[in-house]
Amino acid sequence: MLGKYREALGELERLVVMRLFELSKLAMSATGYKLRQQISKGLQRRSEAIRKAITQYNVQAGRLDPPRSPILWKDIAQYSFLGEFDLLQHAHDDVRERMWAKPAVCEATTKFFKLCRAKEEITRLNVEIRHLRTAIHDEEQEVSQTIANLRHSDPLLALEFERRHQPRAAANAVHIHRLDHLENQYGLPQSSIGTRTQVFRSNDDSVVVPDSVRQDEDMATETGDVRKTPPDFRNEASPQGDCPCPLLQYTARLIY
């Protein structure tokens, strides 16, 4: 219904604009006699087409709910210049009068959706914070154990490894301090250490995730109890020997 109304309105607008351009051409001083005669005949044919378009428009406008005001031929015939044409202004709805266009409603709607997204972000951050705490906890334990083992087998490498790990340990301490401060300041629940999930590697170095790990990862979004961690390199061999972790492999390549 509305589509037919728009189509009739567009056709009427097109014919009226063409008529106004022809009237403007007819009023020009440089227009010759023969051209004026052709334009006059064209205006007569255009008038019949406009009358039919007005009838079609009024039929479609009366079927709308609420119905639009009808248009008369005298309303169209009085237009002499294109600047006087305001058919669309009276025929179309003014969206500025709609409820959603009011500034107060727009502001309230924006704040409502921001509040909804903030609650979703808090739920997601509760999972991510636990992931970060668990990753830092696992790394500190692994690095401490590696340094303790190297002090017996290779004291120099243990010293270099410990020196290179100090900036990372300081950054981890800052992260933990900020997380504790935010949880205490806003009364958030204290996040604990999660459970590490093993991710295996095949012979071609592609990551193979078991089905149980995928299920645990899906559950982490809801509860935050299980997390997926990077691969465990403690049992992998390297070009420098059986190095216990990736950071140690990198340090060994720098030293040797």
The reply to whether 26 and 137 lie within a common domain is no
Query: Given a cut of 70, is residue 97 above it in pLDDT?
Result: yes
Mean pLDDT of 95-107: 81
Contact present, 220 and 228 (Cβ < 8 Å): yes
Strand partners, 20: none
The reply to whether 182 and 248 lie within a common domain is yes
Q: Which amino acid is present at 101?
A: A
Residue 103 lies in a domain: no
The reply to whether 54 and 147 lie within a common domain is no
Q: Which SS3 state, helix, strand or coil, does residue 131 take?
A: helix
Distance in angstroms (rounded) separating the CA atoms of residues 8 and 91: 11
Among 77, 93, 109, where does a domain finish? 93
Closest by CA to 202, choosing from 236, 168, 162, is: 236
Q: Which amino acid is present at 206?
A: S
Q: Average per-residue pLDDT in the chain?
A: 72
pLDDT band at 209 (very low <50, low <70, confident <90, very high): very low
Question: Over the stretch 119-151, which tens digit does the pLDDT of each residue have?
Answer: 898 888 888 888 888 889 889 999 999 999 999
Residue 211: domain span: 123-255
Distance in angstroms (rounded) separating the CA atoms of residues 145 and 244: 9
Whether the bond into 230 is cis, omega within 30 of 0: no
Q: Choose between 226 and 130: higher pLDDT.
A: 130
Q: Choose between 84 and 183: higher pLDDT.
A: 183
The reply to whether 127 and 225 lie within a common domain is yes
pLDDT band at 115 (very low <50, low <70, confident <90, very high): very high
Rg (alpha carbons) of the chain, rounded to whole number: 39
